[in-house]
Amino acid sequence: MTDEITLPADDLLAFATALFRAAGVPNDDAAVVAESLVDANLRGHDSHGVVRVWDYLRQIEKGEVVAAVELRVLAETAAMLAVDAQLGFGQVQMQRVIDRLVPKARELGTATGTVVNCGHVGRLGEWVERIAAMGLAGLMAVNDNGVLQCVAPPGGVSPRISTNPIAIGVPTGGEPLVLDISTSTVANGKVKVAYLAGKECPAGWLLDHEGNPTTDPAVRFKDPRGTILPMGGEADGYKGFGLGLLLDILVGGLSGGFCPPAPPDAPGTNNVLLTVWDPLRFAGMEHFVAEADKLLAHVRGTPRKEGVDAIRLPGDRSRAVNAERLRDGITLDGKSWKRMREAAEGLGVAIPVFE
């Protein structure tokens, strides 16, 4: 689009940080949130990038997200931790949860934590990658407290669950291996990015309110509402929907949050389930890494179809996009950039001037 703008990552990070600070977020927390969003853009996950700045600022105004709150421990043993994030920023609270869970996992071999009443945690892959970089393995799942419903069961035309993502990160002999997926065909945020940019979605993402395939992202944000297809699409969607269904129950049920349908006054927060394992306490780190590296080499060595240059593994695209965007900058659609400028004007923050 002609109104797109490309910005250097460092300048975009400084601008986003300044917006949060002007909105009353403590300096360190503002930097944590902004860095998480810009990193998502750098990795190619624009749905979890600075497009969220506008939403977060509105949530602060409404009291739906609260700056400068601590974790409140609800229950704790040597191997588990249940906390209330008290509507704090998800990125800030997830760092604190990981800092408390990792020592437990190192001591006992495994530890599980739950979080209720948490602000949007951002890209799940960020957190399991952080864990894997410490030589541990992590599995994380999130639901939307029963409030956001955008995925219908196969054969249905009314949404019943959210996109309910899951992420797994493991250490290897090189960089961590991270899988971060929605149990729907696509994350709701990616549909929103297309909607804000005035672009159509690819075929196979959406159904309208009558259950007909559509590429119009507006069906998710205007009544009558359409739905996002579960992972597997129309043919095998029962697999993705089933996984999303069970994760919803585990996350909502264990955290103390809600599964759909939520009570009318329930906040649209994230609830989190996170389990960490220390391979050292099981078969040993040497065995774990050796088996991981052997399998990765075996998969990359798969004979390829004509025209396929390489076998792609989780994280390959993200690393390539990261290098490209660090070099060339991050491109935002015109509407997202307009929203950031309007927020800056309202908060008295200087708007960067880009060549």
Catalytic residues: 120
Whole-angstrom Cα distance, residue 14 to residue 34?
8
Q: Decide if 50 contacts 41 (C-beta within 8 A).
A: yes
Closest CA to 172 of 26, 291, 12: 291
Give Cα 277 distance to the centre of its chain: 21
Q: Which amino acid is at 276?
A: V
Number of alpha helices (DSSP H) and beta strands (DSSP E) in the chain = 10, 12
Q: How crowded is residue 126: how many other Cβ atoms within 10 Å of its Cβ?
A: 24
**From CA 288, how far away is CA 276, in angstroms rounded?**
15
CA distance 282 to 106: 11
Q: How far apart are CA 324 and CA 44, in angstroms?
A: 10
Residues contacting residue 298 through CB under 8 Å, at least 6 positions apart: none
CA 285 remoteness from chain centre: 28
CA 63 to chain centre: 22
| First-to-last C-alpha distance (Å) of the chain | 18
Amino acid identity at 354: F
Nearest to 166 by CA among 97, 255, 231, 73: 231
